[in-house]
Structure 1
């Protein structure tokens, strides 16, 4: 157990843990032998989680506008760690503060990789507001006709596994997408075709989207998420990369196949 997977029971972390069964899984509620308690809100949990660790899969705290202070605190305690693989996002630009400042922290280590996946296909299923829309038959976003290279969390985990275990460190940013860029209307049409259950997309303004999101999240964070929708409307996520194929040696999962499996 020289690798710590933070968020090891989450969407990408659980999939990564299945690929690296000898890793230590950091979670707020440990239930297995390879689990250890890790809670971003409780820095006292950092020391035990980091004991003997040389590599970290780092998922920053969710819903925090500026996670830099707490991530800096973790890395300062990670005295034996040489390699960190950070889960960032293709939608988060570099900046001097906030989420965009995290890549600079990990690049200061000898070995690193920054994963910049596009939006998760898994957002259309499970416990997510977008999935609630799918079940209700209407997906609501502020994206307009903007397209996204939706990516499967399993493909993100596969890239992360290689970035953590390859003998030569990647020391690069990996922009990770699926094989095709789709609008939310395109995605709704595929879901309708594959499942036989009608789903449509309704585009709203960023202001209305902020109000919808703020019903369950802090307003500042809700405005940030609605702003990402606006970026999609402007074409910021309309791209496809070959990262999954290049790093893992196999093609990424298509959205249609994801819907069939889900």
Structure 2
């Protein structure tokens, strides 16, 4: 099955593309063989990206409160696509509008899967706000003592690869987590232990968190993100599943293993 990986240079898409070397990698700025131009803000790129494709890894547009119209337009052009695998989120309940309405659109495909991963371990590295807090020695959230089943993006990609290529379509939702639920304070303690630097977690109010996030994204989207922190504080993400092992045959990576590898070390815990 020929596959279009939307967001093919991003966090999960790049890892998925590495598992599917014949995939067509959709990106705003194609620069390598196998990459094609795909831009949610430029619908004229849809047709050429979909040409000859039978499966799609669908990452919806980022930072858009209601992506339904553009995703619906895209799927209406995907005439020959048999299988669609949607990257959603464990934090997004199904609804009639907004991000929560996308699973219903995907289920209209002949073959489908919806991935609902928990929060990425990669948030503690790179350019994410949490990673900046790690570097500064203080992670700031509105999550309180709430726990999260942080998951490695590589494990999400492994589940996606199976959902796209297994002979029998999954036709289900996959709630994807790591093997343990950790609070941000728990994660900060592991980072401190592995790096030898003190990293703490400071919890703030939802309103203060929204103000902090709004420094880099639109206010409406900042309020949405801060609200997700509040949900974590209330226990919404305090759960783990065996999805990674059930689908791929190997266990999900722990946060300690992930961060030790990020540092180029071998985890002993």
Task: Verify same fold: TM over 0.5.
Answer: yes
Q: Which runs of 4 or more aligned residues in structure 1 lie more than 4 Å from their structure 2 counterparts after TM superposition?
A: none
Cα RMSD, aligned residues only:
0.6
Deviation track 1:189-217 (CA, whole Å, cap 9, x = no partner) reads 00000111110000000000000000000
Q: Aligned equivalents of 2:7 and 2:104: distance in 1?
A: 21
Residue 2 of structure 1 and its aligned partner are, at CA, apart by 1.7
Matched, 1:67 2:67: yes
Name the counterpart of 1:168.
168
Deviation track 1:7-49 (CA, whole Å, cap 9, x = no partner) reads 0000000000000000000000101110000000000010110
Name the counterpart of 2:99.
99
Residue 127 of structure 1 and its aligned partner are, at CA, apart by 1.1
2:84 match: secondary structure: strand
Q: Aligned equivalents of 2:28 and 2:64: distance in 1?
A: 17
Q: Aligned equivalents of 1:185 and 1:130: distance in 2?
A: 12
Name the counterpart of 1:114.
114
Name the counterpart of 1:142.
142
2:73 match: secondary structure: helix
Deviation track 1:122-178 (CA, whole Å, cap 9, x = no partner) reads 000001111000000000000000000000000000000000000000000000000
Residue 238 of structure 1 and its aligned partner are, at CA, apart by 0.2
How many aligned positions are there?
262
Name the counterpart of 2:235.
235
Matched, 1:27 2:27: yes
Q: Aligned equivalents of 1:98 and 1:170: distance in 2?
A: 24
Name the counterpart of 1:187.
187
Q: Aligned equivalents of 1:127 and 1:45: distance in 2?
A: 28
Name the counterpart of 1:213.
213
